[in-house]
Amino acid sequence: MKIITHNNEIEIAGIHDFDLVKTFECGQCFRWDADKNGDYTGIVFGRVVFVRCAGSSIFITSNDNGFYSTVHDYFDLNRDYMKIRQHLSVDDFMCKATAFGEGIRILRQDKWEALCSFIISQNNNIPRIKNIIDTLCRVFGEKIVFDGKIYYTFPDAGRLAAAKIDDLAVLRCGYRAQYILDAAISVSTGAIDLDFLADASADTARSVLKKLRGVGDKVADCVLLFGFHKLDAFPVDVWMKRAVEKHYGPGFDPNIFSPYAGIAQQYIFYYTRNNNSC
């Protein structure tokens, strides 16, 4: 893999296992949108980022060149996903799931954004989750103008903590509004220290996160995996429960995929969601 700079754009050349559609559409993130050409624009750490694929290379442009220093971490470029897929191919089902999901990479997302987003995600579908988050950002985020278009940052916890519950009515997210506000207050006051939890054990982090209203095992594990980048976290929703019951039966232990149970989860989730017969 090579990182090549071209004026205000950088090129990632010679990288394996990086499919834009699979990475951005596998359910781990909600602020990447495709245009008619299949190129993606996202808001990452307060920056607008444009990503396109051409040939065997991926090209990235941002309104802030400071993003380029975080490219390796954010896209997890230093990890060999080909070897991980081989490691996870423990049976016929996983061989199919890893082959189908080839190209998924686990993004290293903002911790607060991941927590808030997955609180919103519970008992919700992806289009509605994205719509709620888009409204949240337009109402409470900061405006960014890039390439003649207006974008909005994800509001920090302090900004949301200062809001009243009635201010969140515009989100039309029902009971989740109180959960969002409670989480924002906990994070902004330091009652919940996300940086500390990211460095703590998965069990400790999960236990603390579950003290927040609206955070159960599934939401907590999503935050561990997608916000804290703890790759052994294994979120279980309806799709996952159905898949593991069908292919592994009762008593399934995700530790069979250790230390990459979280990556296995994404392959299973993406495969079963896109293949109803699986």
Angle subtended at Cα 208 by Cα 206 and Cα 210, rounded to the nearest 5 degrees: 70
pLDDT at 258: 96
Please give the domain boundaries of the chain with CATH numbers for all domains.
2-78 (3.30.310.260), 111-227 (1.10.340.30)
Tokens 């896209």 belong to 75
Residue 58 pLDDT exceeds 90: yes
Extract the runs of DSSP E, i.e. beta strands, from the chain: 2-6, 9-13, 32-34, 40-44, 47-54, 57-62, 143-146, 149-152
CA distance 269 to 101: 9
User: What rounded mean pLDDT belongs to the chain?
Assistant: 95
- Decide if 194 contacts 111 (C-beta within 8 A): yes
Where does the pLDDT of residue 278 fall: very low under 50, low under 70, confident under 90, or very high at 90 and above?
A: low
Rounded mean pLDDT, 206-229: 97
pLDDT at 65: 87
Predicted model pTM: 0.95
CB-based burial label for 123 (10 Å; 0-12, 13-18, 19+): exposed
Query: For 60-64, what is the mean pLDDT?
Result: 95
Average pLDDT over every residue of 18-42 = 96
**Is residue 269 within 8 Å of 244, Cβ to Cβ?**
no
Is 32 in a helix, a strand, or coil?
Answer: strand
Q: CA-based diameter of the chain, in Å?
A: 55
pLDDT given for residue 204 in this prediction: 98
Helices (H), 126-237: 126-140, 157-161, 176-189, 194-199, 202-209, 217-222
Residue with tokens 């808001």: 43
For residue 188, what are its two tokens? 């902004």
